[in-house]
Amino acid sequence: MRPRSLDQVVGHPDLLGPGKLLDPARIGASLPSVLFWGPPGSGKTTLATLLAQAAGLDFTAFSAVLSGVKEVRAVVERARELRNRTGKGTVLFVDEIHRFNKAQQDAFLPHVESGLITLLGATTENPSFEIIPALLSRVRVAALRPLPSQALRTILDRALNDPEQGLGGLKIGLKEEAAAFLVESAQGDARALLNGLEVAAGLVGPGGEIGMEAAQEAVGRRALIYDKSGEEHYNLISAFHKSLRGSDPDAALYWLARMLLAGENPLYIGRRMVRAASEDVGNADPRALALALDAVEAFRFLGPPEGELALAQAAVYIAAAPKSNAIYTAWEEAGRAVEESGSKPVPLHLRNAPTRLMREAGYGRAYLYPHDFPEAVAAQEYFPPGLEGRRFYRPVERGYEVRIKERLDYWRGLIRKSGGRGGPDVAADS
């Protein structure tokens, strides 16, 4: 059911519409090198194949999991020979390009830059972190979102009715509630949607009708009352977050299970736990943030259902951790201070002074190197003029923040005892 032309592609009007990055009307003239960044089943491989076809270029594809520099060099040689012989360009499509290391990615550079090959890559990972800057600067990034429900429904209907590429020859019916369930269960993934439809069709057989029971059996879960794009989505994630904040691990596990069993994206839940670890636990237990991130990574590594246990472990830990919103409120106060005070100049003693001219202008002069002082604390002002002595972070009397508060109070006591000797005066608490 892969689309056979660009006009059959659904769900990406922001990329394929008139005047957009991949406007079909302009592809024939020039196809840029592009990295398709998006979740599974969003159409990365399909778009790459169809774009090369529309541009009239030779298409070569391989997976970064199975190929290396040797295979890249072979493709380059074939591309050079093809251009010399026919004048035709080559598209090199690399699936999971983020799995290439720096040396492998470097192998593309001169050939992308010279125009010998047009590179189309697909990745589920953020290119900013996984692709080397030199290569990233030579390509365009097309961010693909999970396919919306309307696009998935179009794909579902096509697959059900197409007699050549789909299931049209089997004359299978599909109840509306089952169709909606299959679309929702796919979570924006066209491949998952088609897999579910194919399994359900096999369960009912030719001439049968796919109802809710067959759809649930095909997907492997019950249909819980849950609309991931509607109010119930926000109600459940709100109940989960508030259970974490309210230190109730049992309720947190209940809402976590409700969402996972209903088909919520586990990584969305993981992101909310990372937020709760900073917003509601903070430095009262610094380990909470690390554990939340570890749980997200463990889920990526294990997948469902085993990875769900790591999410449950993090949820219980965050719920049971001592709570502090001191970081949250400090960050908000710091942001307001910046908005209210504007772009104040950096004090001269805090400025970097890499050149003689800058040193002669006073940059870095009178800076006190903390390690030259007892307890590595120097009595100097770090704020710009007009904000001296401001306090944003106020640790609470819970968890590890008790120790942080004791340490800060101790350091401030040392500074007060020094009377500001050896550096600029430190203002009193505001």
Tokens 């953020």, residue? 126
Neighbours of 423 (CB within 10 A): 17
Residue 101 has pLDDT above 90, yes or no: no
Question: Which residue in 320, 426, 323, 413 sits closest to 374, CA to CA?
Answer: 413
Average per-residue pLDDT in the chain? Answer: 86
* DSSP per residue, 47-87: HHHHHHHHHT-EEEEEETTT--HHHHHHHHHHHHHHHHHH-
Other Cβ atoms less than 10 A from the Cβ of 181: the count is: 24
Whole-angstrom CA distances from 56 to 50, 84, 158, 336 are: 10, 16, 27, 54
Query: What CATH number is given for 231-320 in this structure?
Result: 1.20.272.10
Contact 347, 385 (CB under 8 A): yes
Which is it for the CA torsion 292, 296, 297, 299, positive or negative? positive
Choice between 150 and 30, residue whose per-residue pLDDT is larger:
150
pLDDT at position 404: 92
Of the options 3.50.50.60, 3.40.50.300, 1.10.8.60, 3.40.30.10, the CATH number for the domain spanning 149-219: 1.10.8.60
**CATH number of 346-418: 1.10.3710, 1.10.3470, 1.10.3210, 1.10.10?**
1.10.3710
Give 22's pLDDT tier (boundaries 50, 70, 90).
confident
Residue 297: what pLDDT?
93
**Which long-range contacts link 72-78 to residues 24+ away (Cβ below 8 Å)?**
72/104, 72/107, 72/108, 73/107, 75/117, 76/111, 76/116, 76/117
- 44 in Cβ contact with 122 (< 8 Å): yes
How many CB atoms are closer than 10 A to CB 18? 9
Please give the class, per CATH, of domain 6-143: alpha beta
> Percent of the chain having pLDDT more than 90?
42
CA atoms within a 13 Å half-sphere pointing along the CA-CB vector of 155: 29
Instruction: Give the whole-angstrom CA distance, residue 179 versus residue 193.
Output: 10
Calculate the CA dihedral of residues 396, 397, 402, 404 and round it to 10 degrees: 20
Q: What percentage of residues in the chain have a pLDDT greater than 70?
A: 93
- pLDDT recorded at residue 423: 38
- Mode of pairing for the β-strands spanning 140-143 and 117-123: unpaired
Mean pLDDT of 35-58: 88
Note the pLDDT of residue 422: 40
Question: Any idea which residue has 């002082």 for tokens?
Answer: 373
DSSP summary character for residue 210: E
CA atoms within 13 A on the CB side of 64: 23
Residue 424 pLDDT class (50, 70, 90 cuts): very low
Q: Is the pLDDT of residue 24 over 60?
A: yes
The pTM of the full predicted model, rounded to 2 decimals, is 0.54
> What three-state secondary structure class fits 298?
helix
Predicted pLDDT of residue 334: 92
Q: Pull the structure tokens for residue 306.
A: 């085993």
pLDDT tens profile 190-215: 999 999 999 999 999 999 999 998 99
Contact status, residue 159 vs residue 196, Cβ threshold 8 Å: no
| Residue ranges of domains in the chain | 6-143, 149-219, 231-320, 346-418
Q: What would the pLDDT profile of 370-400 be if each residue is shown by its tens digit? A: 998 888 888 888 999 988 888 999 999 999 9
8 A C-beta contact, residue 316 and residue 307: no
User: How many CA atoms are closer than 13 Å to the CA of 79, on its beta-carbon side?
Assistant: 25
Strand order in the sheet with 140-143: 58-63, 90-95, 117-123, 34-37, 140-143
Are the C-beta atoms of residues 107 and 101 closer than 8 Å to each other? Answer: no
Instruction: Average the pLDDT over each of 66-75, 153-162, 271-280, 289-298 and give the range with the smallest value.
Output: 66-75
Q: Residue 427: is its pLDDT beyond 50?
A: no
